[in-house]
Each structure stands twice: as C-alpha cells, then as structure tokens.
Structure 1
C-alpha cells in the first residue's frame, strides 16, 4: 500500500522530463506546411532601431539549421551574432553595435525550419534601419557559366563602392547568394555608385581565390538611382596569379620544366641548337628532349604566356641525367578518323606521348579493297608540336569508293583450278581499313610505333545531316562554334553570317556564338587585374529556350537564328 501511495512521486518527474523534450509526433499525415512568421521585434522596415536583439515568433515550434552559412546580413557584420531557437521563438543577438543611419537587411534563407519535417520558412527576410528611413533600391539578375550555358546556384554575389577595392584581397560589405536557378537579388540598397561581382566561394572567406574558385566581374560601375534588373554575371575559373617558374630538373630521359599554372603557349630557343619539346602531363609541364651533342648543360630561353596573358621570359640551363634510364614507351592513339563517301575525303588525328622525329608514309595506307588503296604524303599532315598531335587529311577520287561490278570482280580475280587433293578455305577480303604499319612513326627518342589498324566504313551522304545558322549581330568579328553534348568544339567558322556545318553524324549538338572583341580568332577569358571582361558568349536556344539540337540522319536543320546583343 505504501508503494502505491508513493508511486505518483516516481511517475511525476518522468512525466515532466518527457514534456520538456521536443520531438516529432508519430503517425498522422506528413507535415508539408512551412513555419509562418506571426510577428517580429523589431517590426519589418522599422526605423531608428537601437537595440541589439531581434526576435521572430512563428506559428509552430522551430529550430535553426546551419545559421552562419544560411543567414546573410547586409551590410556584412562578419557573422558577429548569436542565434538560438526556443519553442516557436528565434532570438538573434548582435555582438557589436550597428552603424548609425544605415539600412540592414537580414535574409534567413533556409535557416529557420519546423522541427517535424524540416520545412524551411519561406522568403524569411527582415529589413530595419538605424536611421530615419529605409533604403529600398535593388539589383537583380542571374549568375551563369558562359561556356556551358548553365546557371550557377548558391554563389555569392557582392557589391563594393570604393575604386581601391580588390576582389582578390578584400571582403565585400553588400552580398547575397544565388538560388537554385542562378537568380540573385541585392535589396535595401542606398543610391550610389557600385561595382558588381560574383564568386563561387568554396572556402567561405568572401575573398576570390583565383586558383581554385570561379568568379566573374563587371568592369563598368553601376550608378544606382532606381531598381535594376537582368544583370547577368559570367563566372569562370581564371587564375590571375603571377606566372612563375617553379621547378626545372632532369627527369627520366628528358628535362622537365614546371610553371606555377597552365600555359597557353610557350617558345624555347638556344643559339645554334634545335630544341625539341612539348607539353607534359598537363600544360604547366614542359618536356625538353635530349637532342644536343654531349654537353654538361645547355642555356635555353623560355618565353611563355598563360591564359590571362601573364608572361614569363627567363633563361635556364637544361641538363640531362647521366644514368642509364629506359625511355618511356612510345604510344600512339588514333582519334576521330572518318571517310566521307560523297566528298572522297579521309580525316583524323593521331595523338603521341612524345615529339616525332620522322613519319614513314609508305606505312600509312587506307585500303579500300584488295585492288584499291590510298596513300599519303607530307602535304597531307599537320603537326601540332605543343601537344604532340598529328592531323591527317586527304581528298581522293570518290569513285574509288564505288562498289565494283561483277565483271570487274571477275576481271581482277585470277582463275584457279581447284586441286582434288587439297581443300583451302576462301581467302577473307579486307576492305575499308586504315593501316599504320610497324614503324610508321619514329619518336624523338628513336623508338618506333607498333602496328595498328581500324575499320573505316565510308559514311554516305544520307547517313549525315546539316545544320544551317543565321547570325544577326552588328559586331564585325565573331566565331560560331558547333559543340557536342560535352561542350567539345566539333567545328567553327569565323565572321560568316550564314554558316553551315555539313557531314555531321546523328547526335545532339549546341551552337555557341563568341563575340571576338580582340579579333584573335578565339575566346578571350578576360583579366581582372587589367579590368578586361571575358568576351561575350551567346548560345542558340529554340522557342522553348532549349539549346540542344537533335540532329538525325539525312536531316537539314535551320536556319537557326542566334542574335547578339
């Protein structure tokens, strides 16, 4: 009996503990309704705010999720605040005093969520002023990847006012982030002159790291006197660091040069010597091969440019290892060879891992059949010495590709009487075969290529398609590029307002228009240090804003209209 009388004293504390724990209720329909803000202190757009605490009251219990990343306060206060959620109230306490006569914008994004299904409060923003009025101007637009025609989500978009501000060194005061569709909006801005830029801030320090982070900028300032819409910011990876020589030493059978970043081009020279070289594993490595007479070292001048035209001009001394070292195996790889039956052309590339010393053309044959072959000469090749790549292209009499008639087959086939004693299997006829015989290519280290062969069935006209383009622009210089689905350039044409791309295999393509401001025949990525913006790019899009062109065999597509501006 005493135990029963005392039982409620044991149960009551357990009841209290269970009531204090915030958990999601079990059972019932899934909660899909986000928390709703009922009231706030201060109220929205309150002026003359002098307190250091902001409170938000919701219609249900809430929690805060990753607030230091989700909450954006402009002008920036360096995350100097504490935030806590208790039941249905969120309290944000500022650690430092806000500036006088300044409008502050608090964008909570997805920081405040209900405790059941983690539904974030929608469009949760609060503006207040420490002065007598609220600044209300805005700038909005989209952050984009110009080379791949896609939006950049969750990137930092920022403003600065001073002409001495440097995005590679300084943190912005006004900032926001783009949403899942790349859209951004900077709000509660005062009138003034601003500079706009964006950064994919991987390390979250609000300073552009050009080595690892994509970024974009606008050279012209913005005179903000009214709301501005549709300002696109192109973000690209563009290493703005100075170009330096970081290492040079003998390695294996060659002399290796290492630079601080990838090069666009380079030139090596030495008086009275022929310097054989190429890019190594990437374009920050240069390999120099030993083609010199026995010398301890050779003085070589290196002149190089990177993608933003930083230059390097220095003299180094190439020395090779005296140890007996086995050279790297010589490798070859054929790429993209095609035979077009309607034009009588064969074209493709061969990639090597070393520079070439010689080509034996009598070992390169396109065999149409047992009676007809196509041979090649030095006029049919183009050598890319920087990348160790050989392009082979030849036009021949397309009638050679016609199937032989029955009478022609009989005329070229010797008559043989079958032997009653032996039976031989019919000889297999090999046709449409590209052959690289053993030793067709000799490397700079005197090793020869292996035998290789591949079937190259001629492509008939009805197996291909054509894309017609109509370019409308007042710009004098531009480039039209045909891209595959991986944004590789298939073909390009310069300053042709009605270009057409023929002999295309059925596939998905895109069209990219580059406005060639400097008329150098390629896209220039710009330079923040020199205040040069990337050259403008436009993609073709159909009436449904789809950039993809689905080309089928025996189709003609177009003319497809692409405009700038």
Structure 2
C-alpha cells in the first residue's frame, strides 16, 4: 500500500526527462518546407563590423549539418570557428579577430537544416565588411574531369595572389566548392590579380596531395576589375612528387628496381657488350631485369627513367643476381583480344605477357580460316612493346580468302586452282633464332576461324615457353557492323578525334581530318572525344604545374539532349556528328 502511495514520485522524473528531450513530432503531413531566415547579426552587407560572432535567426528549430565542411567563409578562417545551433538560432563564433577592412562572405550551403525532416535552408548567404566598403566582384566557372567529360562534384576552387604561393604546400584564403553540376562562384572579391586552381580535396586539408588527389590550374593570372565568368578548370591526376630510386636488389630469379612512384618510361644501357631483357613489374614503379649475364658477378648499367611530369632519374647502378636456386614465376599470357574485319581482310589484336620475350616462333602463329586456308603471321606483322610485355598483331590479307566458294559446275584444271597456304611458313624470330635442333611442335587440331598460337610460340627471357592456345575469331561482315561519320569544327592545326566505348577505352582514332569516317564499328554505345593537340605529337598532354603548362584542351560530342553517348546499330550509318572546339 505504501509503494502505491509514493509511486508518483518515481513517475515525475521520467515525465520531466521526456519533456526535456527534443524530438521530431510524429504524425501529420511530411514537412517539406526548409527553414526561412528571419534576421542576422550583422545584417547582410553591413559595414564596419567589429564583432567575433555571427548570429542567424530562423522561423523554426534548426540543427547544423557538418558545419566545418558545409559552411564556407571567404576569406578563409580555416576551421577556427564554432557553429552552435539552439532552437531557432545559429551562432558562429570566430576564435581569432577578423581582418580589418575586409569583406567576408559566408555560404552556408547545406550546413543549416530543420530539425524535423532535415530540409536544408536554401541559398543561405551572408556578406559583411570590417571596413567601410563591400567588395562585390566575382569569379565563376565549371570544374570537370576532361578525360570523361563529367562535372567534378564537391571540388574545392581557390584563389591566391602572391607569386610565391605553392599549391602543394600552402592553404588558400579564398575558396569555395562546386555544386552537384560542377559549377562554382567566388563572390565579394576585391579588384586585383588572382591565380585560380581547383582540387579534389579528399583529405580536406586544403593542400594538394598529388599522389591521390586530382587538381587543375590556370597558368596565367586573372585581372579582376569586373565580374569574370566561364573560368573553367579541368582536373587531372598528376603525381608531382620528386622521382627517386628507392631500392634495387636481387629478388627471386630477377633483379628488381623500385622507384618512388609510377614511371612513364625507362631505359637500361649496359656499360659492356651485353643484352639485357627487362620490363615493368607488378606496377609501373617496379622494373624487373632478367638474368642474361650468368657468366658475370655483376654488370654496371645506366638507368634513365621518366615520370608523367618529366621528372628524371639518370644514374648508374650494378646489377647482380642471387646465387641460390629459385623457382621462376610461371610464364603467363592474357587471352588474345583478336578481331578480323571481313570487309577489308584485316586481323588485329594484342596479347600480354608477364615476362619479356626472348623468342617468337612465327611458324606457330597463324589464322586458320578453314582446313585449306591459313593466314601466316610474319615478323613485319608484329609490334612488341617491351616495356609492358605486349605484342600487337596487325595483319592484312586477301579478303577473298574469307569467301566460301560456290561449288563449281566442272572441276578446274590443277594449274587454274588458286595458290593458298596449306602449311605455316618457315620460322621467323623477333629477337633471336631458337637453339639449333629445337623440335617443331606438332600443330594442334584445327577448326574454322581459329587464331592459333602453338606450344612454344613465345619463349620468355627465362626460357620457359607458352602453351598452345586456339581462339575463335569469326570475321565481321558489313551487315554486322556500322559506320560513324564525324564532322570536326575547329581552327586548331593539330587535333585527335577518339572513338570511345562506354568504358572510355579508345576503339579507334583519327588525326587532323575534319571529315572522318569510322568504319567496321561493332554495334554498341560510343562517345567522341576531341583533343586539341597543341604540340602535334598525337597524344594528350596532361600539363605540368612546374612548367606552367595547362592540359591540352578536350571536348566531347554532345547530342541534342546534351548527352555525350550514342548508340550504333548493325548495318547502320550514323552521322555526320558535329564536334566543335
């Protein structure tokens, strides 16, 4: 009975806790209206403000959303401020005094939301001055990934004035972020000259980490005496760190050279009359050198290596190999990516390997059309990329061989029959002839339209040989492919038009031609990319900050819906598609 009499004393504290807890109301229609700003202190465009806080009042209870990232203050105060939301009021408190005679602009983006449905306040901005004048100039533009033709969301765009400013070391004072559409606008700027750059600031430290972050820049200053628009910047990934030789030593059956970052190319030159076989290793920061100097303890070699921003290593090192017995890595190859264009009689494709090639036995590589027709592959049909261990085959043959002959009414005389290859040609070698007495591998059992690499067709630097492989490669017909016509509108002297598939891989490309025809294209989804080739080398130059070189311009074809991709159907001619720069 006594417990029942005093039960209310236990219930009251729970009641008060429930009242104190601030939660969103339940029931009723969903709140879709964002908070509305009622007043600010200081007022918008106020002059001579000397306070250390900014206060905003709204028509409903609000919360903050990641304020240190969402609220952008120009000139930057970094993260030296606190954002406190209490009921319908937001207070920003600065840890340091604001600069004299300076216009401050605050963009709240999605940093303020209502407490019920987290609707962000729209277009919430505030500008005020600690002096007697409000700066009103602006710079705006578009930030994008040039190679994919897509906007860069949440990229940081920054300005600086001093020539001694280093974008890899210093933090900017003027900055903003791009919208979901890659658009930015820096407002309330004073007249002057500015450098502009952009960064994919993944670690949010406002300094470029070129190892992991894309960035872009304009090489020349912008003189700002009126509003500037269309200040567009492409973001590219360029590792600007110094290039260093970090390690080199024997490993397993080869000698491994490691650099501080990926290389674009390298060259090894022995100081004695020796042949070295080398290639990139598991990545482009590793070089594998294979043992071709078994009669020497070591060999002096000059290494010349370059990265993508033209940093260079030029040094001499001594290569030697371990004495212990080690099992070589298995010799592996990628599946051949071959294609036969039946309308032209062209066989082309690539094969990749995990080791440098010492020998290619050409009598074991051919295209079998049927039991009576063989297209041989000869040394002149093959290009070897020794750095990346890639073999490219480009063979042109008589397309008549692909036609199925009609049964003749009368058998022709033997002298009138066409002369066709029924056996592979004599051996030919890409690097050196195989040792004498080598057994010729037995030809595999064949069926129609087979690209064949017989056993031992490829022999590696460690003298292990490839396995036999057959790949069905049926010739394409006119009815199975399509044609894309392209019209280029540019005043540039040199340019490259690339046909890309949906994975942004280059299918075909043409240079310096304003009327282009891409023929024998397989049905699918494609894009067109125009590179303005300023240096005329046929390649895209990504630029170099140290040399004040901007990336070569790129633009994409866009259809009437402003979309870059288009579909090609079989037996279809598409175009002409206009691409303009």
Range class of TM-score, shorter chain: over 0.9
CA distance in structure 2 between the partners assigned to 1:381 and 1:449 by the alignment: 17
Residue deviations 1:303-335 (CA, integer Å, cap 9, x gap) = 111111111101111111111111111112233
1:37–1:57 contact (8 Å) kept in structure 2: yes
CA distance in structure 1 between the partners assigned to 2:469 and 2:30 by the alignment: 63
Q: Which residue pairs with 2:137 in the alignment?
A: 137
Task: Mark the CA change 1:411 to 1:25 in structure 2 (over 3 Å): closer, same or farther.
Answer: farther
The correspondence of residues 242-257 of structure 1 with structure 2, limited to 5 A, is: 242-257=242-257
SS, match of residue 166 in structure 1: coil
Q: Which residue pairs with 2:261 in the alignment?
A: 261
1:381 is aligned to 2:387: no
1:180 is aligned to 2:180: yes
1:334–1:348 contact (8 Å) kept in structure 2: no
The correspondence of residues 358-507 of structure 1 with structure 2, limited to 5 A, is: 358-407=359-408, 430-507=447-524
Q: Which residue pairs with 1:49 in the alignment?
A: 49
Task: Mark the CA change 1:6 to 1:372 in structure 2 (over 3 Å): closer, same or farther.
Answer: closer
Unmatched 5+ stretches in structure 2: 414-444
Residue 4 of structure 1, CA deviation: 9.4
Residue 6 of structure 1, CA deviation: 7.7
Q: Which residue pairs with 1:160 in the alignment?
A: 160
Q: Which residue pairs with 1:120 in the alignment?
A: 120
Q: Which residue pairs with 2:306 in the alignment?
A: 305
Q: Which residue pairs with 1:510 in the alignment?
A: 527
Unmatched 5+ stretches in structure 1: 413-427
Q: Which residue pairs with 2:432 in the alignment?
A: none
Residue 531 of structure 1, CA deviation: 0.9
Misfit runs of 4+, over 3 Å: 1-17, 406-412
Q: Could you state the TM-score of these two structures normalised by the residue count of structure 1?
A: 0.93
Residue 179 of structure 1, CA deviation: 1.1
Q: Which moved more, 1:396-405 or 1:141-150?
A: 396-405
CA distance in structure 1 between the partners assigned to 2:176 and 2:559 by the alignment: 31
2:213–2:237 contact (8 Å) kept in structure 1: yes
CA distance in structure 2 between the partners assigned to 1:251 and 1:70 by the alignment: 50
Q: Which moved more, 1:2-11 or 1:299-308?
A: 2-11
Q: Which residue pairs with 1:425 in the alignment?
A: none
CA distance in structure 1 between the partners assigned to 2:359 and 2:96 by the alignment: 73
Q: Which residue pairs with 1:418 in the alignment?
A: none
Of residues 539, 548, 554, the one that matches 1:522 is 539
1:550 is aligned to 2:567: yes
Q: Which residue pairs with 1:423 in the alignment?
A: none
Task: Mark the CA change 1:60 to 1:410 in structure 2 (over 3 Å): closer, same or farther.
Answer: farther
SS, match of residue 490 in structure 1: strand
Residue 182 of structure 1, CA deviation: 0.8
Corresponding residue pairs, total: 549
Residue 411 of structure 1, CA deviation: 9.5
SS, match of residue 380 in structure 2: helix
CA distance in structure 2 between the partners assigned to 1:300 and 1:76 by the alignment: 52
Q: Which residue pairs with 2:321 in the alignment?
A: 320
CA distance in structure 2 between the partners assigned to 1:409 and 1:60 by the alignment: 97
Task: Mark the CA change 1:94 to 1:299 in structure 2 (over 3 Å): closer, same or farther.
Answer: same
SS, match of residue 246 in structure 1: strand
Residue 13 of structure 1, CA deviation: 5.1
Residue 406 of structure 1, CA deviation: 3.6
1:438–1:450 contact (8 Å) kept in structure 2: yes
1:219 is aligned to 2:214: no
Residue deviations 1:122-142 (CA, integer Å, cap 9, x gap) = 111111111112111111111
SS, match of residue 400 in structure 1: helix
Task: Mark the CA change 1:350 to 1:99 in structure 2 (over 3 Å): closer, same or farther.
Answer: same
Residue 147 of structure 1, CA deviation: 0.6
Residue deviations 1:73-97 (CA, integer Å, cap 9, x gap) = 1111122222211111111112211
Q: Which residue pairs with 1:279 in the alignment?
A: 280
SS, match of residue 353 in structure 1: coil
CA distance in structure 2 between the partners assigned to 1:318 and 1:26 by the alignment: 75
CA distance in structure 2 between the partners assigned to 1:180 and 1:409 by the alignment: 74
Residue deviations 1:329-365 (CA, integer Å, cap 9, x gap) = 1112233211122111211111111111111111112
1:158–1:197 contact (8 Å) kept in structure 2: yes
CA distance in structure 2 between the partners assigned to 1:6 and 1:509 by the alignment: 79
SS, match of residue 344 in structure 2: coil
Q: Which residue pairs with 1:97 in the alignment?
A: 97
Q: Which moved more, 1:197-206 or 1:334-343?
A: 334-343
Residue 115 of structure 1, CA deviation: 1.1
CA distance in structure 2 between the partners assigned to 1:408 and 1:58 by the alignment: 95
CA distance in structure 1 between the partners assigned to 2:260 and 2:572 by the alignment: 48
Residue 247 of structure 1, CA deviation: 0.9
Residue 17 of structure 1, CA deviation: 3.3
Residue deviations 1:17-55 (CA, integer Å, cap 9, x gap) = 333221011111111111111111111111111111211
Residue 408 of structure 1, CA deviation: 8.9
Task: Mark the CA change 1:325 to 1:293 in structure 2 (over 3 Å): closer, same or farther.
Answer: closer
Q: CA RMSD in A?
A: 2.0
SS, match of residue 69 in structure 1: helix
1:138–1:185 contact (8 Å) kept in structure 2: yes
CA distance in structure 1 between the partners assigned to 2:124 and 2:374 by the alignment: 74
Q: Which residue pairs with 2:238 in the alignment?
A: 238
Residue deviations 1:469-522 (CA, integer Å, cap 9, x gap) = 111222111111111111111122222222221111001111111111122221
